Amino acid sequence: MWVLAAVGLQACSGNDGDEHAVRFVQREDSRLVKVQSVGLAAFGPINPHTADSAAAAAAFGEPTSVQRAADLCRHRWPRLGLAIDFADPGGEDSCGSEALIEAIRVGGPAAEAAGWHTAEGIRPGMSLAAARRIYPEAHRDPSGTLVLVERLGQGGSGPIAPVLAATVADGRIADLIFPIDAASG
C-alpha cells in the first residue's frame, strides 16, 4: 500500500524531476471545494485563480445563462446550483476572453443534489449548528453574511478577506460563497 501511494504521488507530480512537487488534480466530475486560509485552492476540477469562462464551460458544460451586470459577467448553471461571476482585471470586458473569476456561489436544492461540499464537510443545506461545530470561530459580517474562513494577512497578521462565506435561511446554509481574491492566487 505504501508503494502504491508513493507511486501515485510521483505520478501526480507536476515536475518529472522533482518527486516532492505534488500537484493536486481533481476528477472532472468532482464537486469538492478545497478551502484554505490562504485562499481557495480548487473548485471542483478548475483552478479558480486561473480559470476563464472557457475553462468553466469545459468543466461544467455551457452555462444556461450569461448576464452582464455592472463590471461583472454572471454565468449560471441552474442544474448544478452554480453561479460564477467573472471580471476583467484590465477593466475592459467582463464577459470577454480575458475575464477571470471574481466570485463563485453554490446554493439551493440543485447544489445539494449536485453534491457541492468542502473537504471539511460544509455544504448547502446543512444546519447552521453543524457548520458552527466545524468552524466555531465563524462570525457575521456587517451585511449579515456568515464568514466561515478568512484569508490571513502576511505572516498570519490577522484576517483580511473572506475565503468561504455563507448565507443562512431558516437555520440552514442556503448558499456557499467563495470570493476570489486575485492577491491570494
Higher pLDDT, 30 or 161: 161
The residue whose grid cell reads 522533482 is: 18
73 pairs with which residues across the strands?
Answer: 68, 86
Higher pLDDT, 62 or 33: 62
Predicted pLDDT of residue 139 = 94
Mean pLDDT of 134-157: 85
d(CA 56, CA 164): 20
Higher pLDDT, 132 or 35: 132
Burial 70-93 (b: 16+ CB within 10 A, else e): eebbbbbbeebbbbbbbbbeeeee
Q: Are strands 139-140 and 117-118 parallel, antiparallel or unpaired?
A: unpaired
| Domain span(s) for CATH 2.60.460 in the chain | 31-184
User: Measuring CA to CA, how many Å separate 134 from each of 41, 97, 128, 165?
Assistant: 19, 38, 10, 13
Instruction: Tell me the fold of 31-184.
Output: protein yfey like fold (2.60.460)
pLDDT at 136 over 70: yes
pLDDT classification of 151: cutoffs 50, 70, 90: confident
As given in the structure block, the three cell numbers for residue 12 are 501526480
pLDDT at 148 over 90: yes
Predicted pLDDT of residue 106 = 97
Mean pLDDT of 47-55: 94
Predicted pLDDT of residue 159 = 61
Least confident among 14-28, 78-92, 149-163: 14-28
Residue 179, C-beta contacts closer than 8 angstroms, at least 6 positions apart: 102, 103, 161, 162, 163, 165
Predicted pLDDT of residue 92 = 86
H/E segment holding residue 177: strand 172-179
138 neighbors 147 (Cβ within 8 angstroms):
yes
pLDDT classification of 103: cutoffs 50, 70, 90: very high
d(CA 146, CA 175): 10
